[in-house]
Amino acid sequence: MEKTKVGIIGLGTVGTGVARLLLDHGDRTARHAGRIPWLEKVVVRDLTKPRHVDIPEGVLTDDIQQVIQNPEITVVAQLIGGIEPARTIMLQLLESGKDIITANKALLAAHGPELFDKARQLGRCIAFEASVAGGIPIITNIGQCLTANQVTSLRGILNGTCNFIITQMQDRGEDYEDVVKEAQRLGYAEADPTLDVNGADTAQKLSILSQLAFGVRVNWEDIPCKGIDELDIADIHYADRLGYRIKLLALAKLVGHEVEMSVGPTLIRKGSPLAEVQDAFNAIRVHGDAVGPVFYHGQGAGQMPTASAVVADIVDTVVGRGQLTFNNLELWSESNRPRSMADAGPSINRYYLRMQVIDKPGVMAEITGILGSNGVSIASIIQHEPKDQDSPATVPLVIMSHDTTQSAIARSVEQFRQSENIESEAVVLKVL
Ligand code: NAP
Ligand code: HSE
């Protein structure tokens, strides 16, 4: 059987999984590709580091030119994270005639237009299934399987690390710092896990999915975004008692010709599919105007699920399907009529509010009055007796609203700030 020579740049969590699949299951990939995707070179930074895969002699190198300058290597999996040198390497690979597979969502979210334009100019392709939701084939599904539809909304748990952290804290009472370390050990977290927990990784993925689903060209940093790094365990417990779980949720929906987008910890009613997504799993609910709702669920981070997506892209590229798809998608292309991001102010949702208030006559009336004056209707309130006899005692107050606008909640929060009876900044979370 003929070979297509493949290079891998980066042999960390994902690169190791890809090398394992190509080396240990070459029969499988060859059967699907009709040729052997042959691992010719693997580039790393540090040749002395212990590796968790047996790379054949002569394949491992710290000299990237051994890939760039080798015309026999036509397909490269670019599996290093961050922006630079990943961006420059991608451009060099394209210029030297390689088709590229990447899992680097940070790079695509920041430089997708530049990289995709360059690939189109040079007649090359970039495949990126692994960049969103790990092993779930969401890019292929939105980009190819749902093309009869106008996607009208997306709701997704897109960061495995955050879902793992929340699940461990909520269901097993684990401590935040310990679970972050465990997510790093398990290979779920980014090299800098701040990007996971502050929501940036989710916003980057949402920007990629939204480009694909709606043609919205948005800077991921403009997406309203909150992470789980400021989530208080108290809110997880209150949500639980109210019958909800908190998930870091990415939301995008079509509003007229614009797209409303957000990322943030969100209360989701227990028993609904998104609420039950556990550990490092991801899930995405896509609504298409023809198909209706479709739900995808699977492992969203980690070595082998991510490698599964990368290798599927390698096979597609070796077969030649990747090039066809890339050309037809016209992603981040000028010919793709871009939509813009909608103002979230008029967006309607239910909200969860928590604040620490002074326990004295008239305070509840003041708070409900503020909400009422802004047209916010209250669905439920929890207030417990104070724990100690400090004077004046303060108590947590938890309010669930009925449907209201984001701007009505923002106005209310601004008025809470002016009150001497409210001791803390109000925690505000969306309720799905
Ligand atoms: P990682 O474990 O940190 O591995 C990165 C690899 O890149 C290392 O092997 C490193 O070499 C190599 N590298 C870094 N700079 C290099 C350079 N200048 N030249 C050559 N090699 C270089 O990262 P990862 O978790 O595998 O993630 C890789 C990419 O996949 C990232 O973009 C990440 O966002 C994305 N991703 C990760 C997951 C996941 O679950 N981990 C899932 C989906 C997508 P050394 O080993 O010699 O240091
Ligand atoms: N750090 C990412 C996550 C890897 O936890 O979801 C998968 O993109």
Q: What is the CATH number of the domain that holds 408?
A: 3.30.70.260
Asked, for residue 342, whether it belongs to a domain, the answer is no
Of 145, 148, 343, 345, which is closest to residue 257 (Cα–Cα)? 343
| Ligand 1 pocket, residue 11 CB under 6 Å | yes
What is the structure's pLDDT at 390?
A: 60
CA 293 – CA 170 distance, rounded (Å): 28
Same domain for 216 and 284, yes or no, is yes
Please report, for residues 235, 272, 355, the alpha-carbon distance to residue 241 in angstroms, rounded to integers and kept in the order given.
10, 16, 17
Residues whose CB falls within 8 Å of the CB of residue 195, separated by 6 or more in sequence, listed in order: 106, 201
Sheet of 99-102: strands edge to edge? 60-61, 36-43, 3-9, 73-78, 99-102, 126-127
Same domain for 268 and 360, yes or no, is no
Asked, for residue 51, whether it belongs to a domain, the answer is yes
Q: Which atom of ligand 2 is nearest to the CA of 189?
A: 1
Of the ligands numbered here, which is closest to the C-alpha atom of 81?
1
Tell me which residue range forms the domain holding 424. Answer: 348-431
Model pLDDT for residues 141-176, shown as the tens digit of each residue: 999 999 999 999 999 999 999 999 999 998 888 899
CA 67 – CA 7 distance, rounded (Å): 6
Spans of the chain below 50 pLDDT: none
CA 284 – CA 146 distance, rounded (Å): 14
Q: Over the Cα atoms of the chain, what is R_g?
A: 24
Q: Look up the pTM and report it.
A: 0.96
205 is catalytic: yes
- What CATH code is carried by the domain that includes residue 258? 3.30.360.10
Asked, for residue 339, whether it belongs to a domain, the answer is no
Same domain for 391 and 416, yes or no, is yes
CA 301 – CA 14 distance, rounded (Å): 9
Same domain for 364 and 265, yes or no, is no
Same domain for 175 and 43, yes or no, is no
Contact 113, 88 (CB under 8 A): no
Other C-beta atoms within 10 Å of 296: how many?
Answer: 16
Q: What total of structural domains would you count in the chain?
A: 3
Output the residue whose Cα is nearest ligand 1's atom 21: 44
Burial (0-12, 13-18, 19+ Cβ within 10 Å), 66: middle
Of 347, 357, 412, which is closest to residue 383 (Cα–Cα)? 357
Q: Which atom of ligand 2 is nearest to the CA of 158?
A: 6
Asked, for residue 336, whether it belongs to a domain, the answer is no
Asked, for residue 186, whether it belongs to a domain, the answer is yes
The β-bridge partners of 298 are 282
Beta strands in 137-218 (DSSP E): 151-157
| Ligand 1 pocket, residue 203 CB under 6 Å | no
Other C-beta atoms within 10 Å of 410: how many?
Answer: 13
End-to-end CA distance of the chain: 53
Model pLDDT for residues 51-101, shown as the tens digit of each residue: 999 999 999 999 999 999 999 999 999 999 999 999 999 999 999 999 999
Task: Select from 128, 159, 195 the residue to mutate for testing ligand 2; criterion: most ligand atoms less than 8 Å from CB.
Answer: 159
| Ligand 1 pocket, residue 165 CB under 6 Å | no
Asked, for residue 281, whether it belongs to a domain, the answer is yes
Same domain for 8 and 129, yes or no, is yes
Contact 263, 223 (CB under 8 A): yes
Contact 80, 13 (CB under 8 A): no
What is the structure's pLDDT at 391?
A: 62
Asked, for residue 213, whether it belongs to a domain, the answer is yes
What is the structure's pLDDT at 141?
A: 97
CA of 250 to the centre of ligand 2 (A): 14
Asked, for residue 341, whether it belongs to a domain, the answer is no
Task: Report the greatest alpha carbon distance in the chain.
Answer: 83
Which of 138-146's residues contact partners 24+ apart within 8 Å by CB, and which partners? 138/209, 138/284, 138/286, 138/296, 139/208, 139/209, 139/212, 140/312, 141/286, 141/294, 141/296, 142/209, 142/212, 142/213, 142/286, 143/212, 143/325, 143/329, 143/331, 144/325, 146/286, 146/288, 146/291, 146/294
Q: Which of 41, 98, 105, 205 is catalytic?
A: 205
Contact 102, 14 (CB under 8 A): no
Same domain for 270 and 379, yes or no, is no
DSSP secondary structure string, 113-126?
HHHHHHHHHTT--E
What is the structure's pLDDT at 388?
A: 66
Same domain for 102 and 150, yes or no, is no
Of 277, 303, 242, 241, which is closest to residue 163 (Cα–Cα)? 277
Other C-beta atoms within 10 Å of 147: how many?
Answer: 10
Same domain for 83 and 146, yes or no, is no
Same domain for 249 and 263, yes or no, is yes
- What CATH code is carried by the domain that includes residue 101? 3.40.50.720
Q: What are the φ/ψ torsions at residue 31 (nearest 5 degrees)?
A: -60, -40
Other C-beta atoms within 10 Å of 145: how many?
Answer: 14
- Which tokens hold the place of 119? 């690939």
CA 231 – CA 118 distance, rounded (Å): 41
CA 265 – CA 430 distance, rounded (Å): 7
Task: Select from 161, 164, 185, 229 the residue to mutate for testing ligand 2; criterion: most ligand atoms less than 8 Å from CB.
Answer: 161
Please report, for residues 232, 383, 390, the alpha-carbon distance to residue 387 in angstroms, rounded to integers and kept in the order given.
19, 12, 9
What is the structure's pLDDT at 336?
A: 67
What is the structure's pLDDT at 345?
A: 83
Same domain for 163 and 214, yes or no, is yes
CA of 293 to the centre of ligand 1 (A): 34
Q: Which helix (H) or strand (E) holds 76?
A: strand 73-78
